[in-house]
Amino acid sequence: MAALARISAVCVLLLAGLAVSGPAAADPAATDLAATDLAEVQSRKLDMIRELLETSQTESLLQEVLPDVLQQQRAVLSEVLPDVPDEVWDLALKEAEAAFRESIDAFLEQTIPIYDAYLTEAEVAALLEFYRTPEGRSVVQKLPLLTQEAMGASHQWGLAV
């Protein structure tokens, strides 16, 4: 029993010593190199996401569908606030559209971390590859129409529900 107690005490001392000293010191040059490599990989991925947003013409799509989105919002708000004159809605939509158009770049920058969180670098690369093909460019050209019609359908669906 005394031997078991001594072994236990030695194990506790060894574990305590490891906990205090921490892991063996890493080579600072290797640590710096790993951090540099990681930073380069992350920077490359973020650049690829920016390129993806550009290649898929996300800004143009937002610019194109913005008036329709605002008109749908106006329709909904007009039902909730029927006493607001049309001139007020016209002015409000004009101001809202200008504000949204001015902030699209900031909005796109805010989406980059979202893409980064959900897509791997390989997935971003595959999307870029697709959008560079004739089929991908065709999809990009059709997206505004698809989006507008889908928004119209969702508006009709929302009214029916």
Write the pLDDT tens digit of every residue in 22-52.
Answer: 444 555 555 666 777 778 878 899 999 999 9
Residue 29: what pLDDT?
57
pLDDT at site 7: 40
SS (H, E, C) 1-27: CHHHHHHHHHHHHHHHHHHHHCCCCCC
Predicted local confidence at residue 31, as pLDDT: 62
Which residues are CB-neighbours of 124 under 8 A, at least 6 positions away? 45, 48, 49, 52, 115
The residues, any chain, with a CB within 8 Å of residue 11's CB and separated by 6 or more, are none
Task: Give whole-number Cα distances, 9 to 4, 5, 21, 23, 61, in Å.
Answer: 9, 6, 18, 21, 69
Q: Compute the Cα dihedral for 137, 138, 142, 143 and give only its sign.
A: negative
Single pTM value for the model: 0.63
Residue 110, pLDDT score: 95
Q: Note down pLDDT in tens along the chain; length 161 residues.
A: 444 344 443 333 333 343 333 444 555 555 666 777 778 878 899 999 999 999 999 988 888 888 888 888 888 888 888 898 889 888 988 898 899 889 999 999 999 999 999 999 999 999 999 999 999 999 999 988 888 888 888 878 877 87
